[in-house]
Amino acid sequence: MSYAYTGNILHIDLSSKKYWIEHPSETFYRTYWGGKALALYYMLKEIEPYTDLLSPDNLLIFAPSVLIGTPAPAIPRYTVCAKSPLTGTQGEAEAGGWWGPELKKAGFDAIIIKGRSKTPVYLWIKDATQLWGKDTGTTQRIIKEELADDRYR
């Protein structure tokens, strides 16, 4: 596997609170490079055409660019994708910052989330009821204090 990929895609089902790691082939990565292409592949493969946008069957996909984790400078971009409430088709956004590179350092080329949790959770996949209704800054501070480490992002 090329060093631009980890070879691991994390699938999370919030309804069952289970996860599994997929190990796609090199051919898969040569076809769906990462970011938008990888996200669209999973949307077309796993979401039925008339799935309700707010259904637990919709997916939320985080897919970093193929260039994240390589020596290429200033390219920490990742795609977030789901079925759009505006168009009913693929809706996506791109962002930069630490999240994409940290996901690659954690050993994943993408995270695909489906289902619906009965209580709020964060990706450490544990009960996060105490965070319900808090703003982003407060939530981040509470998580860092709870985990006793300022390096969490």
109 and 151 co-located in one domain = no
106 and 126 co-located in one domain = no
112 and 125 co-located in one domain = no
Specify whether the CB–CB gap between 56 and 14 falls below 8 A: yes
pLDDT tens-digit profile of 82-139?
988 888 888 888 888 888 888 888 889 999 999 999 998 887 756 778 888 999 899 8
Question: What is the enclosing helix (H) or strand (E) of 80?
Answer: strand 78-83
pLDDT at 3: 64
108 and 128 co-located in one domain = no
Which residue is associated with the tokens 């940290």?
102
pLDDT mean over 50-69: 88
For residue 84, give the CATH number of its domain: 3.60.9.10
28 and 46 co-located in one domain = yes
pLDDT tens-digit profile of 17-58?
999 999 999 999 989 888 889 999 999 999 988 888 888 999
Which residue is associated with the tokens 């910052």?
97
pLDDT tens-digit profile of 5-19?
889 999 999 999 999
In a domain, 99, yes or no: yes
Pair of tokens at residue 7: 């070879």
Question: What is the enclosing helix (H) or strand (E) of 131?
Answer: none
In a domain, 149, yes or no: yes
100 and 125 co-located in one domain = no
In a domain, 14, yes or no: yes
In a domain, 1, yes or no: no
98 and 46 co-located in one domain = yes
pLDDT at 115: 95
Measured between alpha carbons, how far is 109 from 111 in angstroms, rounded to an integer? 7
